[in-house]
Amino acid sequence: MEGYVLDWLNLLGRWLHIVTGIAWIGASFYFVWLDDHLLPPADPAAAKKGVAGELWAVHGGGFYNAQKYQVAPPALPAVLHWFKWEAYWTWISGFFLLVLLYYLGAEVYLIDRSVANISKGPAIAIGLATLAGGWIVYDRLCASPLGRNDRALSVVLGVLIAGAAWGLCQVFSGRGAYMHFGAMLGTIMAANVLFVIIPGQKELVAAMREGRAPDPVHGLRGWQRSVHNTYFTLPVLFTMMSHHYPMTTDHPWNWAVLIALSLAGALIRVWFVARHKGRASPLPLAAGIVMLAALAVAIMPRAPGDGASGADFPRVRAIIAERCMSCHAPAPTHPGLDAPPKGVVLDTPERIVAQAAQIRQTTASRTMPIANLTKMTDEERAIIADWFRRGAPR
């Protein structure tokens, strides 16, 4: 029953996370696109009122005219829409999932004793410190004199973020490291909204209501953080789905894979943002694609040698029975599981052969058994790989 309740909490939390994430990222992408497509106002009267740019669009059978003011309108409208709860609820639901899966289940998903022999308490403390520390360091850099030089700031942030990727992969399981890397960037993004963008907007509104001249610095700070958020988006989205791809999370050089994928995502986003403004250099896009292609070749699984000859099916089935069946049985015996993960059952020869490719991939990448809780040996992994190489015979 406990596993069933956890499954429902996972389902509902993930559902909420996806919905709010779509709303937040969709709005973020839209406003970046909008800012880069604004044209000088056609009506001179609009320009006199402080309109810096406008855009006409058609969508859903209606015409829309969006206008952006240089600082603020002469008078505040009666109804002013804010965009903040999408960001807040995306972070809240994401943190809920992080606690549910990676902290309550730290022994399974977060800790890999072959990487670092740490206990549950210190592992969770390191995870939480990563989220808080990442934001504090980032925010202080942006608020420092370095923050006035976007190019220099980008280089320093890139180096620090790469260092965080390396460090996390020295402490946590590959899956746990990738998830905390994404959670760190996601925390920075949400904190940008909570502590910089929204307070700046509130100050602009307060100045208008009090008859003071709005300080444009708030808009400039908010725009800088919004730009950072849009470049963080693709790396964050990758890490959120990375656990489906153990070829990345469990590669021996998983930290380098994470850095390469994050940089490729950021470069591709750079091109899209530039493309919104018109003609854009294809170099960032080409660099991102080449990086992805080179990475795919670099981490391609190599064919095993002949040292594991004689991998007959009875031996493979015995290994699976001993190492895998506590989870992948019709009625799992592993604590907290009421059903086999992802519905994968390996109780018959037919089912084992049908899942041969997945068994080979997950055992070779050391994704399974999770955290190697059942102590599968390197020799057993080689036997499975050799069996698959020979066509997975029965």
Domain holding 139, by residue range, is 7-32+85-298
Distances (CA, A) of 333 to 78, 103, 328, 338: 61, 22, 9, 8
Q: Which amino acid is located at 305 in the chain?
A: G
| Domain identity same for 57 and 93 | no
- Indicate the range of 100-109, 137-146, 155-164, 233-242 predicted with least confidence: 100-109
Task: Examine the domain organization and report whether 218 and 352 are in the same domain.
Answer: no
Question: Does residue 340 have a cis bond before it (omega within 30 degrees)?
Answer: no
Same domain? For 148 and 282 the reply is yes
- Is residue 93 located within the same domain as residue 209? yes
Same domain as 90, residue 218: yes
Which pair of tokens denotes residue 277?
């403004």
Bigger pLDDT: 188 vs 349:
188
User: Could you report the per-residue pLDDT of 200-238, keeping only the tens digit for each?
Assistant: 999 988 888 888 887 888 888 988 999 999 999 999 999
Q: What is the C-alpha separation between 389 and 90, in angstroms, rounded?
A: 43
Quickly count: other Cβ atoms within 10 Å of residue 371's Cβ: 22
Q: Is residue 307 part of a domain?
A: no
Residue 147: the pLDDT is 94
pLDDT in tens, 246-271: 889 988 899 999 999 999 999 999 99
Q: What value does the mean pLDDT take over residues 11-35? A: 94
For residues 238, 241, 245, 249, the Cα torsion angle rounded to the nearest 10 degrees is 70
Q: Is residue 16 part of a domain?
A: yes
Please state the rounded mean pLDDT for residues 46-71. 92
Q: Are residues 188 and 96 in the same domain?
A: yes
Is the residue at 306 inside a domain? Answer: no
Identify whether 304 is part of a domain: no
Confidence of residue 303 (pLDDT cuts 50, 70, 90): low
Please check whether residues 270 and 334 belong to one and the same domain: no
Judge whether 394 lies within some domain: no
Structurally, the chain folds into a number of domains equal to 3
Answer whether 137's CB lies under 8 Å from 160's CB.
Answer: yes
Q: Tell whether 56 and 114 lie within a shared domain.
A: no
pLDDT of 334 > 50? The answer is yes
Looking at the structure, tell me whether residues 106 and 239 fall in a common domain: yes
**For 142, which DSSP code?**
H
307 vs 321, higher pLDDT: 321
- Helix extents (H) in 38-149: 44-48, 85-97, 120-143
Predicted pLDDT at 311:
64
75 belongs to a structural domain: no
pLDDT bracket for residue 306 (50, 70, 90): very low
Which pLDDT does position 198 carry in this prediction?
95
**Are 140 and 100 in the same domain?**
yes
In a domain, 359, yes or no: yes
- To the nearest whole number, what is the mean pLDDT of the chain? 90
161 and 252 together in one domain: yes
How much is the pLDDT for 308? 46
Percentage of residues in the chain having pLDDT higher than 90: 60
pLDDT higher than 60, residue 307: no
From 234, 124, 108, select the one nearest 175 (Cα to Cα): 108
Residues 53 and 155 placed together within one structural domain of the fold? no
CA separation for the pair 346, 320 (Å, rounded) = 8
Of 39-43, 294-298, 365-369, which range is least confident? 365-369
Asked if residues 14 and 101 have their Cβ atoms less than 8 Å apart, the reply is no
What is each CA distance from 78 to 71, 75, 194, in whole angstroms? Answer: 18, 9, 24
Closest CA to 50 of 71, 36, 20, 76: 71
Peptide bond before residue 216 is cis, with ω within 30 degrees of 0: no
Last residue of a domain, one of 243, 268, 298: 298
Q: Name the domain boundary from 298, 329, 352.
A: 298
Rounded mean pLDDT, 43-50:
90
pLDDT bracket for residue 302 (50, 70, 90): low
Residue 110 near residue 103 (C-beta atoms within 8 A): yes
The percentage of the chain sitting over the pLDDT mark of 70, rounded to a whole number, equals 97
Among 274, 298, 322, which residue terminates a domain? 298
Higher pLDDT, 388 or 132: 132
Residue 75 has pLDDT above 60, yes or no: yes
**Is 343 contained in some domain?**
yes
